[in-house]
Amino acid sequence: MKRSGIGAIIGVAAASAVWAFGHLSSVPKAINNVVSRRNFVRNAALGAVLIVLGQLAAGFVRFFWPNKIGAFGSVLTVAASDVPEAGGQPFTYTPGKFYLVNLDEGLIALYWKCTHLGCTVPWVASEERFHCPCHGSIFFENGVKESGPAPRPLDYFPVTVMADGSVQVNTGAPTERHDFNPDQAVPYP
C-alpha cells in the first residue's frame, strides 16, 4: 500500500518532468505546436531514465526505515505475576520505559519521560510520588502533576488485558492528556 503510493508519486513526478522538459527544450518546436517525433522519442527516453532513477532514489530512502525496531516502540507484554495489586507499588518495566500502575479505576501504563524536558522520572516510594530529579516536577500515582514546571501529566500507553491476566502495552503510541479521567485506566480483574 505504502510502496504503491510512492510508485504513484514517482510516476506522476516523472510524467510532469517529461512534460516540463518538453517545454524547456530548446530544440525548435514542430509547426502548429504539435510535439515532433524527435521530441517525443527524446522525452520518452529521458522520462524512462528519470522513472528508474526516481525508483532507485525512493528505494534508497525506504532502505533507511527498518521494518523491525527494538523493544521500545513495539507492543510489549507484562507477565500476570508482575502486574501490581490494586493500590500497590507501580511496576517498573525498563525495556518499555513505563510504570504499570494499578489504580482504583484500573491499570495505567505511564511513560517515564518527564513532560517538562524529557528526563526519566523515578518512582519515589517514600513520597508515594513520581519525583523528577532534573527540575523537581512531582506527579501523583496516576501521573497527574502535583507541582513543578511540567506542563501536563505524564503520557500513558494503551493497555490491553489478555485472557491469562498478562498485559500488553503499546509503547509505540504514547498518549498526551491534560487531566486524569477514569477512561484512561483499563479495569483489571
Partner 1 sequence: MRREQTLADRITSSSVWRSVVRHGYPDNQRNQALIIASNVFLHIHPVKIKRYATKVTYTFCLGGLSFFMFLVLVLTGVLLMFYYIPSSDQAYQSMKDIEASVTFGQLMRNMHRWSAQGMVIAVFLHMGRVFYTGSYKPPREFNWVIGVLLLVVTFLLSFTGYLLPWDQLAYWAITVGTQIGGAAPIVGPKVDFLLKGGKEIGQPTLIRFYTLHVIFLPLIAAFLMAVHFWRIRKDGGISGPL
67 contacts partner 1 (rule: CB under 8 A):
yes
Give the shortest CB-63-to-partner 1 separation in angstroms. Answer: 5
Out of 1, 4, 5, 28, the only residue in the binding site for partner 1 (CB under 8 A) is 28
Residue 56 C-alpha cell reads as 532507485
Single out the segment in contact with partner 1 by CB under 8 A; choices: 11-19, 66-74, 129-137, 168-176. Answer: 66-74
Give the shortest CB-137-to-partner 1 separation in angstroms. Answer: 37
Residues in the chain: 189
33 contacts partner 1 (rule: CB under 8 A):
no
178 contacts partner 1 (rule: CB under 8 A):
no
Give the shortest CB-62-to-partner 1 separation in angstroms. Answer: 5
Task: Count CA atoms closer than 13 A to 127's CA, side-chain side.
Answer: 14
65 contacts partner 1 (rule: CB under 8 A):
yes
Give the shortest CB-21-to-partner 1 separation in angstroms. Answer: 9
Give the shortest CB-189-to-partner 1 separation in angstroms. Answer: 36
* H-run or E-run covering 11: helix 2-24
Name the β-bridge partners of 74: 72
Q: Which residues contact 122 (CB under 8 A, 6 or more apart)?
A: 112, 130, 131, 133
DSSP state of 34: P
Q: Which 125-144 residues touch partner 1, going by CB under 8 A? A: none
Q: Alpha helix (H) ranges present in 25-180?
A: 37-62
66 contacts partner 1 (rule: CB under 8 A):
yes
Helices 2-24 and 37-62 cross at an angle (nearest 10°) of 150
62 contacts partner 1 (rule: CB under 8 A):
yes
Closer of 66 and 189 to partner 1 (Cβ): 66
189 contacts partner 1 (rule: CB under 8 A):
no
What sign for the dihedral angle of Cα 82, 86, 88, 89? positive
